[in-house]
Chains A and B, each alone.
Chain A
Amino acid sequence: MEKLKSSSLLRAICYVAIPLLVLILIVSIAHVSLVSKYGEVSERKDYLQTENFAHLYYNTILSNVLNVNSYRNNANRRYSPYREIQNDDNHQAIYYEDNSRYNSVTSKCMDYIILDKENGTIYTNMKSNDYQKEMQSMKDKKTYWNYTQGQIQTNMESINQDNIKFLYSSSSSLEEFEEIEVYSSFNTKLMATSASFSMQQKIYDIFKDNRNATAYLIPMTVIALAVIFLYLCFSIGHQKGKEGIELSSIDRFPYEILVTISFTIIGILCSIMLASFESSAMGNLIYSIWLLCYLGSYVSLAVLGITTIKRIKAKEFWHSFLVYRIFRWVKRQIAKVVTKAIDGSHMSKRITFFYLGFVLLSIFLGLMLGSGIAIILLLVFWIWVYYQLLQYGKKMETIQNALKDIYEGKKEVYLNEEELAGMLKRMARYINDIAGGFSNAIEESLKSERLKTELITNVSHDIKTPLTSIINYVDLLKEEELENPKTKEYLVVLDKKSQQLKKLIEDLVEASKVSSGNVKLKMETIDLKELLNQIRGEFEDRFEQRHLSIDMNLPKEDVKIQADDRYFYRIIENLFSNVTKYAMEHTRVYIELVNTGYEIHLIMKNISKEKLNISADELMQRFVRGDRSRYTEGSGLGLSIAQSLTELQGGKFQISIDGDLFKAEIIWKK
């Protein structure tokens, strides 16, 4: 079965067999129709004897006579095919080129003259100088048919006076036209040169010996064709060793175009064929043209048929239509544009929807613009849309402001969702959620900071109590008389360390309080010059002890800032105390106050006693000291506290290290 399905040999046989079978079928059908039309004729002469011929001939004459009659009666002369031509001396002649539409073959081979006896007008399809003579000589023609004085004279038996009664005529009979005489002749030789007639003759000749062959040829060829057609339908598209339908490039060619091309070819070939039918050319040339046309038509039809079957079988039939492809392309383009514009966003869909509504309504109202109401409606509509857009913009602004508030860290951000709708409402809800979460997070972090501070404070309280005893008993021990001199040394260490521990705990509490912002600020106007002088006074002795000289460079005018005096003092105190701890002895400490107009810079520079192999950032972190060792006094929290306090009061605290130069800078916005 599979072999049969994909046998190209069998298919080739089919393709060859089809035109032959069809040719046989056509010829057979032609023969059958000819036989039914003209009866059994084998000779040209016989044809003239047939009732069919008699019928044609008589009706041709009759139709011409009717035409003439209507012309005579001036009825529709304008549309009449007769045209007056140059006549001879006696007669007015009217020439009619296409003398009958009844049967072209019959009338082409026919010469006739119709004479109107009343005025001697001649209606004819002959060109002659002497119609009188023509009329006289008509009798001498091989086959003639005259009608004079109500009598038919002819040498064609089938149309003589007696037989004519049996001929069918739809309209009328000759007897009605007594004032008319008809002279006509039939040229059988002319008939023989007509391709169609010779074709008929050929067809007759084919079946000359076996006249009943058609009776079985037609059904046989029909069955054979049907079988071949079914087989081809079954087989086409399958190839050896391949699954499914193999489509070639022609099968993907737009179907309508293919159909058009194919039928154009067939149409051209058929018209060539039909044209040659009417031509008087004869012989093998005509047959070869016919054969070529026939084969050409067959090939183009076969190609079309094969591809059609393939397409149907591959379920690609509709897809191969150009219209379908154009439609699909347009659809895809639109979809592409639309998806690009909408980009999967719900909002874009809505906007598109509303915008289309707006445009359509505008167009609709615009079309009705003739009436005044429509203009008003259009204006109202536009104003309404404008108003809606304004509302939308306002709401968007509200949302933006809310977002800005969140961005700026404001705690109480809330949008009234009830006032908004659709996407804005959802946005408002999300913002409210974020704001809620945000302020929760702030509260949480504040709470945790507070808890941390509380914890540190509580722990420090618990540490302070035993520490009090340690300090006190160390102090008491110092006053005791101790025998071993070493114990005194040890006591000094104990004393120093317990004092350091005390300081450390105090700083720790302060640092945690300050860094968590857990301090209440009392902002006042402070004179920085006064402050620096006061602090200098406080530290004078300690600086002197370490042989540090202060070089203070203050501007002449007063420098006033807003700050909490006690906390600001703590900042400077920490810096000064750092200097007394870490500055190298016998060096200068520079203090500079610069007023730039926008900002106030308080700069302190000193030379470090130890090598500062640490970054400025690290140095500012809690519990970090420049020397990385823990032998020096201090808690390591000084700079961290100073930084936190500065920032709490709205200033900036920077430190930088350049070699052994330590520089601290406090920047205060005016």
Chain B
Amino acid sequence: MVQILVVDDDKEIVNAIEIYLKKEGYQILKAYDGKQALEMIKNHEVHLVILDVMMPNQDGFETLQEIRKEKTIPVIMLSAKSEDYDKIEGLNTGADDYITKPFNPLELIARVNSNVRRYVDFGSMETTKGEKIYQTGGLKMNDETKQVTVDGEEIKLTATEYHILRFLLQNKGKVYSIPQIYENVWNEESYGAENIIAVHIRHIREKIEINPKEPIYLKVIWGIGYKIEDISH
């Protein structure tokens, strides 16, 4: 049984999250400030923490630092602060993910699932020698079985989407413009087919990303092109 600790000074939010996550089959522990949270972690086996940033007594970041002194469990920060600055600070402090209030319940569940899988099942899909496997972070592509998984969960892609994603994954970290992608995937010059590529990429993003507007893997660099982020744990 996976136990998730939800920490927020707003009890209603904690309760709502509890309802959502219970439906997903998680066991929920609740805390209403940083100190309680640390107590909980000390006394119970916690697999994941959802931690609100703005709390009385001890705020989320301080609590996170305390947690990180002993544990490597995934922590998802929950904050009303939506600035990039806040997200970066949260991630730098040691958070694994960041969700801004008000959040979409589905996104929350997806992120929780993703993080739990990564934490609990990490390494379950060991690379078999000889198999063509492309990976970045939780995104894996087995070119032998034509299987794509995100944090272990299989994703269904169309053939075109698969080819585009494979090309980008093979060259992860590099930015390709639409014509470049077209030429490399179709091996022919692009004549006004750019639009199709953009649509495909959006579709890929919608499938592999939890929040397509804030993608982790397939990033859009506006006016330049697209790339697969090179994430190595």
- Residues of A at under 8 Å CB distance from B? 457, 460-462, 464-473, 475-476, 498, 502, 506, 509, 524, 526-528, 530-531, 533-538, 540-541, 563, 565-566, 568-569
Residue of A nearest to B105 (CB): A475
Total contacting residues, chain B, CB less than 8 A: 34
**Can you offer 27 A-B residue contacts whose CB atoms are under 8 A?**
A460-B80, A461-B54, A464-B102, A465-B10, A467-B101, A468-B13, A468-B102, A468-B103, A470-B102, A471-B102, A471-B103, A471-B104, A472-B13, A473-B12, A473-B16, A526-B223, A527-B224, A531-B222, A533-B194, A534-B178, A534-B220, A534-B222, A534-B223, A534-B226, A538-B198, A541-B199, A565-B222
Q: Quick check: A472 and B222 within 8 Å, CB to CB?
A: no
Within the complex, what minimum Cβ distance (angstroms) separates B212 from chain A?
Answer: 9
* B41 close to A (CB within 8 Å): no
* B163 close to A (CB within 8 Å): no
Q: Quick check: A530 and B178 within 8 Å, CB to CB?
A: yes
Among B82, B177, B197, contact of A527 (Cβ-Cβ < 8 Å): B177
Specify which chain A residues have a CB less than 8 angstroms from the CB of B220 in the assembled complex: 534, 569
Decide: A476 near B82, CB < 8 A? Known: A534-B220, A537-B199, A569-B222.
no
Specify which chain B residues have a CB less than 8 angstroms from the CB of A568 in the assembled complex: 222-223
Most buried by A among B80, B83, B194: B80
- Residues of B at under 8 Å CB distance from A? 10, 12-13, 16-17, 19-20, 54, 80-83, 101-105, 177-178, 194-195, 197-202, 220-226
Residue of A nearest to B102 (CB): A468
Among A467, A536, A563, contact of B195 (Cβ-Cβ < 8 Å): A536
Specify which chain A residues have a CB less than 8 angstroms from the CB of B195 in the assembled complex: 533, 536-537, 540
Q: Quick check: A469 and B224 within 8 Å, CB to CB?
A: no
Q: Quick check: B221 and A467 within 8 Å, CB to CB?
A: no
Q: 5 new A-B pairs (CB below 8 Å) besides A460-B80, A533-B198, A534-B198? A: A464-B102, A469-B12, A509-B82, A533-B197, A537-B201
Q: Quick check: A472 and B223 within 8 Å, CB to CB?
A: no
Q: Quick check: B222 and A537 within 8 Å, CB to CB?
A: no
Specify which chain A residues have a CB less than 8 angstroms from the CB of B19 in the assembled complex: 476
CA distance A265 to B178 in the complex (A): 120
Specify which chain B residues have a CB less than 8 angstroms from the CB of A467 in the assembled complex: 101-102
Specify which chain B residues have a CB less than 8 angstroms from the CB of A509 in the assembled complex: 82
Among A460, A536, A540, A569, contact of B223 (Cβ-Cβ < 8 Å): A569
Q: Quick check: A461 and B80 within 8 Å, CB to CB?
A: yes
Residue of B nearest to A528 (CB): B223
Query: Which 4 A/B pairs are nearest by Cβ-Cβ distance?
Result: A537-B198, A526-B223, A531-B223, A569-B222
Within the complex, what minimum Cβ distance (angstroms) separates B53 from chain A?
Answer: 10
Specify which chain A residues have a CB less than 8 angstroms from the CB of B101 in the assembled complex: 464-465, 467-468
Within the complex, what minimum Cβ distance (angstroms) separates B25 from chain A?
Answer: 16
CA distance A540 to B198 in the complex (A): 9
Q: Quick check: A530 and B80 within 8 Å, CB to CB?
A: no
Q: Quick check: A565 and B198 within 8 Å, CB to CB?
A: no
CA distance A502 to B101 in the complex (A): 9
Within the complex, what minimum Cβ distance (angstroms) separates B204 from chain A?
Answer: 11
Specify which chain B residues have a CB less than 8 angstroms from the CB of A462 in the assembled complex: 80
CA distance A469 to B14 in the complex (A): 9
Specify which chain A residues have a CB less than 8 angstroms from the CB of B221 in the assembled complex: 565
Specify which chain B residues have a CB less than 8 angstroms from the CB of A538 in the assembled complex: 198, 202
